[in-house]
Amino acid sequence: MHRAYQPITPANNKLLKKRWDMSRYDTHRRKVMSAKAVIDNKPPQTYMHLHLKLKKLQVEEERLATIERDNRILLEKMSFVMRTRGRVDNRNGHEPKSLNKTKRQRELLRVTHENQAILKRISSKEPHYNHLQWEDEWQINETYMDNISKYPKDWYKQLTRRSKKKPLEEEVGEKSKSDKRRSSNQQVKPAKDKQEASENGDGAEVNKSDEDKEAIAEKDA
């Protein structure tokens, strides 16, 4: 068999040359079989979160749950309207609450305490000026002014009083005259009334005497 093998390169021993060539060829085939590709032509790796999007499914479920809840509330309202023939439900019983109420209360308490402390300090402080001494000095100054003044003190008030007294005296005089006239008229009226009463009384007596005379004549007849 070694004689049938024809080496490419010249060799002294064809058998050894054949062995060497076959071993070199086997090494080459092993290398070819175990060689890795330089260019990555494999399909990309598949990820489950790209094919099965759980977040999208969650958002869709939440949206459907919101729609279902709104539909249920709307159905309850419609059934309530159908049962009760409709009522006004626009009243809101919520009472507004201040978010900084406690802070404002603390600030108010702090300010009140500071004001009380300031007031206490002011009230406990003795005055620097004496108002009694000022009053005495003012009275002395008033006496000085009265001594050097040309007209008396409050002269304009006296003039106003005199001007007011005159019309009052005139009104009093007119009232006294009207009262006298009324008293004289009241005295005249009772005298007239007495005369009328006496006249009426005499006429009645005359009429009575005539009637008595007629009654006596009828008895005698």
Q: Mind listing the pLDDT tens digit for each residue in 103-148?
A: 999 999 999 999 999 988 888 888 788 888 999 999 999 999 888 8
The residue type at 188? V
Token pair for 201: 């009384």
The residue type at 205? E
Token pair for 202: 């005499």
Judged by phi (left if over 0) then psi (alpha if -120 to 50, else beta), residue 126 lies in beta
CA-to-CA distance for 61 and 68, rounded, in angstroms? 10
Question: Which is more confident, 201 or 44?
Answer: 44
pLDDT at 56 over 80: yes
C-beta separation of 18 from 2 below 8 A: yes
Quick: pLDDT tens for 175-213: 666 666 666 655 545 545 555 545 544 444 444 455 665
pLDDT at 60 over 90: yes
CA-to-CA distance for 88 and 138, rounded, in angstroms? 76
**Closest Cα to residue 153, out of 142, 162, 139, 163?**
142
Q: Mention every residue, 6+ apart, whose C-beta is less than 8 A from residue 14.
A: 2, 3, 5, 7
